[in-house]
Chain A
Amino acid sequence: MHDTLLSTLILTPGAAGLLLLLLAPRRADTFVRWAGLVTSLATLALAGMAWARFDASNPGFQLVEQRAWLPQIGISYSLGMDGIALVLVLLTALLQPLVFISSWLSISKHVKGYVSAMLLLETGVLGAFLATDLFLFYVFWELMLIPMYFIIGVWGGERRIYAAVKFVLFTLAGSLLMLVGILYLGYLHHAQHGTWSFAYSDMLTLDIAMGSGFWGSPQLLLFAAFALAFAIKVPVWPLHTWLPDAHVEAPTGGSVILAGILLKLGTFGLMRFNRPLFPEAWEAATPLFMTLAVVAIIYGAFVAWAQKDIKKLVAYSSVSHMGFIILGLFAGTVASTQGALIQMINHGLSTGALFMLVGVIYDRRHTRLIEDFGGLATVMPAYTFAFLLATLSSIGLPGLNGFVGEFLILAGAFAKHPIAVACGATGIVLGAVYMLSLVQRVFWNALVHEENRTLADLTWREWLAFAPLAVFMVWIGVQPGTFLALSEAAVRQLIGG
């Protein structure tokens, strides 16, 4: 089959990034910025085309592409898109141009490198969502590492080196064991069917023994190898310690991509690989992950509450929110899984917007400490409105997107896991506490710092970057059915109900 839409979608940003890196003249910053924006818009258009051709009633992979790659050992270049991948691809393609718009002026050194790294990163992300061969998935998964290392390490804040190295080592630690897991799956296929294969569909046919104990159970060991890689990416408490550093030190655009998209790869991986490939191990691990999810929700919320730095606060809120998604996934009903998926999108939109907005005042004041602000509502009314909207979306106000996801997760999980839901629900209250107290301290209270009196409100460029996110926050909140329908068939098949 030679449909090339998905390949074009994946490779467009990366190819443009490489061309820019190798060919663009050194000082043509404006040209490079435009080239990046146009490329990401073209990618968005391609993602839109994929959406238009997508049949939501079909739970399987669509727009399938398959080519021999390393035929000697059963590795193929194969791509496919189901409903789960589609919504995440759309999120990625939507966020990328907004990142370019929002960091149009705030990135001024080595613009060419920045744009290229972002575009290569997008290729890695899209490829990981769409790969249907485990080897190919791994290649795309690791492809994200190098651009992100550069984005944090070159354009980041004061402690960027520490954060970048920590990010690389944490990510590699997880993914290298996953590599052994992938190899072992290929070996199992060889043992059971006589040929090596790393194709996703072939992996589903494997019979993986549960054995006894942990070290004696291939399925549990494989589950652990994959889950570790994904849990670090999510991040699941207690593997989250790289996240605050990476988020805080990354430039605004890097934080948006990191929080908005890269974290989703962890939960996506759990959904795509761990659940269908190792169903019994999944069952066995459910209590553990439920507990970790609840701990993450509450711990993340309390730590966020205690932060003095706005960006750090948003970063820790991610730990809490990702806990909800894990809870939804492991609760394992159709509703909770759908909720987890839509919550991935919501978190991408609202946290992406929050990081972008934190970047806005950081660009003006070069500080992110809460105590340096106060009373901004009178000086920057439009900015206040935008921040409040993103906050309300993040804490799950009915009518906005966050509510839909949290409600579905909790409602779907309640029947089987009432205690976890009860504990998790306190996280929603805590979320309101720390976010609203942030809003109060930054925007309401008295305006005590003179230098804040002259701050300029949102520029048209910043509006342009924020508006699409706002539209989707409201759209998903008011009419979630449109988006839920995309992934319904795929999720039903995944859950087997």
Chain B
Amino acid sequence: MTSNDLLAILPELALVLGGGVLVLAEVFAPSLRRAFGVLAAATAAGALTLRWTLAADSLVFSAALRIDDLARFVDTYVLVAVILAALVAVPYLDRTRQAFGEFYGLLLWAAAGAMVMAKTDHFLVVFVGLELLSISLYVLSAFHRTSGVSLEAGWKYLVVGAFAAAILLFGIALAYGATGTFSLAEVTAKAAARELHPTPLLLAGLAFILAGFAFKLAVVPFHAWAPDVYQGSPTPVTALLSVVPKGAVLVVLARIAAAFAPATLTPQWLPMLAAVAVASMTLGNLVAIAQRDLKRMLAYSGIAHMGYALVGLVAFGRDGLAGVLVYFAAYTLMNIAAFAVVAAFSESEDEPHLLTDLAGQGWQRPVLAFALSIAMFSLAGIPPTVGFTAKFLVFRAAINDGWVWLAVVGVLNSLVSAFYYVRVVFYLYMKPLPKREPDYAEPWTIRLVAAGCAAGVVGFGVLPAWLLGLAEAAAAALVR
């Protein structure tokens, strides 16, 4: 380990140490509790700044970590998501009297796990990063330890997650048996030298790896945990859970796909991904229509959105990967905007977050309602929002790669999804207020997060060139 190695992972170190400090501060300086959230956000912001100051072209820790434009892009949306989630959590935890340092410590550790996982070339480091991320999230999901639904969420997530981890590990072992290496860089070299063959062993290994990751992505048929966990977890955690692990896992999948050269070595990979994408989009959108609880609806919407993102991976290449990355940046903004508002529109955590609770709020709480509406239109993919740009890019890549039917399935799914997203707007603005007006708090941090995300959603929708430029540079780091 050289000083160069340590310098390159300074952002991750900052997060891990910052998290540790917060956990210790809980013990030794509990009077500072009010500042924990802001401190966590500041630590993440510091890590983000560090990541952008450091050079992004190094291979460190014996080539286990690859710090390139792709890593920087993923770090950026992971950290942005963490900052936003921490800000949403401040008033939320105050209200539920759970404002403990451990919460923010785990938040930062989860981010570190996701960041490590997304920038490694080594299967075992992927696994370590994934576990750091997952274990932090298991605890965070169950953070309302007096609430039954929260405990249930944490427990379910843990059981399913452990199961998925085992499957993933099994797949990694099989792939190791077939390739003789844990390193994706070496796999790439072997594939280029035509030393790899699509043996049953390798295919089984890849299938298990895909299945393991599919649990984390919550795509069909490995999605069943998502609605319960989304619903039960504290809302800021749900916000984080819905973007960070999925974003990191997709990048790992992209790295694997790039290494195993899907089109030549393993053509079976593409139909498998396409089938998962179609099933996720269709089932996610159809079932979301039937939901009455906002968080559950967003869970199914998330299942569908992972389907759209997978379309970009099916159409693998620079265009497809850039599309997926823009998709994730977009998804982060619109999903966190939605969950921030959901966190505000509830009186107590034990109650379901019913759609009907939104009735008439559009005219009562204009800022939050407007932000939620913009998030919904963006999730539905209606221009001029970044959700539309992202879908456009993904479908463009699909058509460019000859997957016209997949793009058609995708747009038809957008039509289905418009129904339930627009219904949220309908409740906000077109339903009368109930007789007993709900007592919603509207703290300024949530307003800030929601309005900021909404501004980002529209801003990147109108002027997407910069974001796409970043994503293309990041994609070029992986696919030349």
Contact = CB atoms under 8 A, between A and B. Distances in A.
Contacts, number: 81
Given A71-B465, A169-B419, A153 B426 contact: yes
Contacts of B382: 142, 145-146, 172
A110 interface: yes
A214 interface: no
A242 interface: no
* Residues of B in contact with A, size category: 20 to 34
Contacts of A145: 382
Given A70-B465, A176-B414, A154 B430 contact: yes
B396 A186 contact: yes
Contacts of B469: 72
Given A73-B396, A165-B419, A180 B411 contact: yes
A144 to B, nearest CB: 11
Interface in B391-423: 392-393, 395-396, 399-400, 404, 407-408, 411-412, 414-415, 418-419, 422-423
B464 A70 contact: yes
Contact of A139 (B383, B396, B399): B383
Contact of A180 (B407, B418, B426): B407
Contact of B418 (A139, A164, A168, A179): A168
A16 interface: no
A52 interface: no
Given A161-B426, A176-B411, A180-B411, A187 B465 contact: no
A149 B465 contact: no
B377 A172 contact: no
Interface string A252-266: 000000000000000
Contacts of A190: 400
A146 B408 contact: no
A245 to B, nearest CB: 15
Interface in B341-392: 363, 377, 382-384, 388, 392
B465 A183 contact: no
Contacts of B393: 73
Residue of A135, A146, A150, A190 contacting most chain B CB atoms (<10 Å) = A146
A160 interface: yes
A19 interface: no
B430 A161 contact: yes
A179 B465 contact: no
Given A153-B426, A153-B430, A184-B399, A70 B419 contact: no
Given A165-B419, A172-B418, A183 B396 contact: yes
A472 B422 CA distance: 39
A69 interface: yes
B429 interface: yes
B102 interface: no
B464 A169 contact: no
Contacts of B404: 180, 184
Contacts of A154: 429-430
Contacts of B418: 168-169, 172
Contacts of A177: 408, 411
Contacts of B400: 187, 190
A475 B408 CA distance: 47
Contacts of A142: 382-383, 388
A68 interface: yes
B411 A153 contact: no
Given A72-B472, A172-B415, A150 B429 contact: yes
B468 interface: yes
B399 A187 contact: yes
Contacts of A186: 396
A71 B411 CA distance: 24
A494 interface: no
Contacts of A149: 422, 425
Contacts of A38: none
A29 to B, nearest CB: 14
B359 to A, nearest CB: 12
Nearest to B463: A69
Interface in A147-174: 149-150, 153-154, 160-161, 164-165, 168-169, 172-173
B468 A168 contact: no
B58 to A, nearest CB: 27
A169 B396 CA distance: 23
Nearest to A173: B415
A209 B400 CA distance: 17
A183 B395 contact: yes
14 contacts: A73-B393, A73-B468, A139-B384, A142-B383, A146-B377, A149-B422, A160-B430, A172-B382, A172-B414, A176-B414, A176-B415, A177-B411, A179-B411, A184-B404
Interface of B: 363, 377, 382-384, 388, 392-393, 395-396, 399-400, 404, 407-408, 411-412, 414-415, 418-419, 422-423, 425-426, 429-430, 464-465, 468-469, 472
Given A149-B422, A161-B426, A172-B382, 20 more contacts: A72-B468, A73-B396, A110-B363, A138-B383, A139-B383, A143-B383, A143-B384, A153-B429, A154-B429, A164-B430, A165-B423, A165-B426, A172-B418, A176-B411, A179-B395, A180-B411, A183-B396, A183-B407, A187-B400, A190-B400
